[in-house]
Amino acid sequence: MGWFDHTRKTAAPDESGRPVVKRPASALWGDGFGRLATRSVQVIAILIVVIGVVFVITQLTLVFIPLSIALILAAAFHPLMHWMRRKGLPSAIATWIALLAIVVVLGGVGYLIYVAVRNQLDELIDSAAQGIDHLYDWFLTLPFDISEEQISGFRDSAVDFLTSSQFGSGALAGVGAASNFLVGLFFMIVVLFYFLKDGPRIWEFLLRPFEGQQYARARRIGDKAVDTLGGYVRGTAAVAAVDAIGIGIVLFALQVPLALPLAVIVFVLAFIPLVGATLAGALAVLVALVANDPITAVWVLVAVVGVNQLEGNFLQPILMGRSLKLHPLVILVALTAGTILGGIVGAVLSVPIAAVAWGVISVWNGEHEPAWPAKQKRPEPQ
């Protein structure tokens, strides 16, 4: 007699003489449908929690976005901070050195972009107007059914926009939420300072409720998250620098206007996986087309394709192989969801967050022991 036999209740026999067994209500949750219902309730509960967290994040973007950027930068500079501490440099001095380096680099890049745009904007507007005229003449030679009036209307609208005061003011000083940006920037710098200075102590304080196996798991998850974030940022920055330098050299050689800002845009957009490099390359080709001529645009396109091939086949596997072990489909889904929820910032942050989530799962039960649902249990096709 098993334990299950004691849970059965036998009623009076039916007309055929066979006893009728009544199953208790708790046994209904033990069969296949019961387990499926239990899992469904659990999934729904998890989804409700996730939706609630996402809603809170979207309402507190002024806190969440600077906090996330500060955490990512702190993880990227963690090896430098560890090296300076190991050399005997006081933590406060090491923090100021790292923080000033970040501010100088970012501020210098922003100043160079501003100077280049200010000095070459008028030239770009004039070149763009001439390029639109060239495109107008070229469109007239196409065998498509496009009337000359339609092309003229589009050309006049484009030229009027490029030469209007709204375009110039928007390109140089179009900041819709300057106060929020400054508040977020100040908050990010302050948080970054404390992350750099007291990051290990802050994490150890957060781990006070845990002990034993739970403490070991939490320490393992924290170390993996920092390694993943830092490796992602450093690898992406290296790949983006190669892209920007390669395309920038071609733009300078071909005398394309705004070559420096375009190279910086290539660097920034490279932090958006899959689509960032394509968007930056398309922008560079478009500027070369309207500001120079179609031949120059073709050469820029060749350079963009060549740099992207170098990135995809050589740089990404070497520099990003260990930090970003995500399938392209997962990257695309995370990128789309991040863009919908947070715009450009969401697109930049979504992939490293997904990489950290997978990294946490991969060390959940040990250094090389992922959580049971993610553990490979049989040979899988390559």
Average pLDDT, the chain: 75
CA distance linking residue 365 with residue 216, whole number of Å:
10
Task: Tell me whether residue 72 is in a domain.
Answer: yes
- Whose tokens are 């695309």? That residue is 332
**By CB neighbour count within 10 A (0-12 exposed, 13-18 middle, 19+ buried), where does 35 fall?**
exposed
CA distance linking residue 295 with residue 238, whole number of Å:
30
Three-class SS of residue 320? coil
- Torsion of the alpha carbons at 165, 168, 173 and 174, rounded to the nearest 10: 80
CA distance linking residue 144 with residue 277, whole number of Å:
31
CA distance linking residue 108 with residue 112, whole number of Å:
6
**Residue 120, amino acid:** Q
User: Minimal CA–CA distance to 342: which of 265, 281, 231, 351?
Assistant: 351
Cβ atoms 80, 102 nearer than 8 A: no
How much is the pTM? 0.68
pLDDT tens over the chain, length 382 residues: 444 444 444 555 555 555 555 555 556 666 677 778 888 888 899 889 888 887 887 777 778 888 888 888 888 888 888 888 888 888 888 888 888 888 887 777 777 767 766 766 666 666 656 666 666 666 666 655 555 566 566 656 655 555 555 444 444 444 455 677 777 788 888 888 888 888 888 888 989 988 888 898 889 988 888 888 888 888 888 888 888 888 889 888 888 877 877 888 888 788 777 677 778 888 888 888 777 777 888 888 888 888 877 776 676 666 665 556 677 777 788 888 887 877 777 777 888 888 888 888 888 888 878 877 777 777 777 6
Cβ atoms 257, 120 nearer than 8 A: yes
Give backbone dihedrals phi and psi of 255, rounded to 5 degrees, phi first.
Answer: 60, 45
Task: Tell me whether residue 344 is in a domain.
Answer: yes
Cβ atoms 337, 328 nearer than 8 A: no
Beta-strand (E) ranges in the chain?
A: 9-10, 21-22
Task: Tell me whether residue 153 is in a domain.
Answer: no
Task: Tell me whether residue 126 is in a domain.
Answer: yes
Task: Tell me whether residue 321 is in a domain.
Answer: yes
* Residues 153-199: tens digit of each pLDDT: 665 665 555 555 544 444 444 445 567 777 778 888 888 888 888 88
Task: Tell me whether residue 54 is in a domain.
Answer: no
Domain enclosing residue 270, as ranges: 60-140+171-363
Three-class SS of residue 261? helix
Give backbone dihedrals phi and psi of 9, rounded to 5 degrees, phi first.
Answer: -120, 120
What's the domain count of the chain? Answer: 1
Task: Tell me whether residue 369 is in a domain.
Answer: no
Task: Tell me whether residue 373 is in a domain.
Answer: no
Kind and range of the H or E run holding 233: helix 213-253
**By CB neighbour count within 10 A (0-12 exposed, 13-18 middle, 19+ buried), where does 290 fall?**
buried
Residues 6 or more apart from 284 whose CB is under 8 A from it?
247, 251, 256, 262, 266, 300, 304
CA distance linking residue 343 with residue 92, whole number of Å:
35
Give pLDDT, residue 6: 45
Q: DSSP secondary structure string, 136-178? A: HHHHHTSSS---HHHHHHHHHHHHHHHTSHHHHHHHHH--TTH
